[in-house]
Amino acid sequence: MFTRTVLTIFTWAFVLELLVLTYYLGKEPKPFEFYLNLGLTVFTAVVLIFVVSKEKRRKELEEREIEEKKKER
């Protein structure tokens, strides 16, 4: 449950950061907020990749355990 909540929050953050990033792309010169948002977008993408990969590994382990229990019977 916790992973799903974190995933939802960071997904929405990523979407909103992309919207803000596109807004600042049209401005010249680039304000400080553009670079701040760029850094936050990279951070959010890394966190999303980490959470998704961790969740995939957890599900694979659960599936293996279920298969092993079925084989034992």
Each residue's pLDDT tens digit in the chain (73 positions)?
Answer: 688 899 999 999 999 999 999 999 988 999 999 999 999 999 999 999 999 999 999 999 999 999 888 888 7
Tokens of 63: 């599936």
User: What integer pLDDT is reported at residue 1 of this predicted model?
Assistant: 66
User: What integer pLDDT is reported at residue 69 of this predicted model?
Assistant: 86
Cα 65–Cα 66–Cα 69 angle in degrees, nearest 5: 85
| CA separation for the pair 16, 18 (Å, rounded) | 5
Cα 13–Cα 31–Cα 18 angle in degrees, nearest 5: 25
What's the number of domains the chain is made of?
1
| CA separation for the pair 70, 59 (Å, rounded) | 17
User: What integer pLDDT is reported at residue 70 of this predicted model?
Assistant: 85
**Domain of 58, in residue numbers:** 1-72
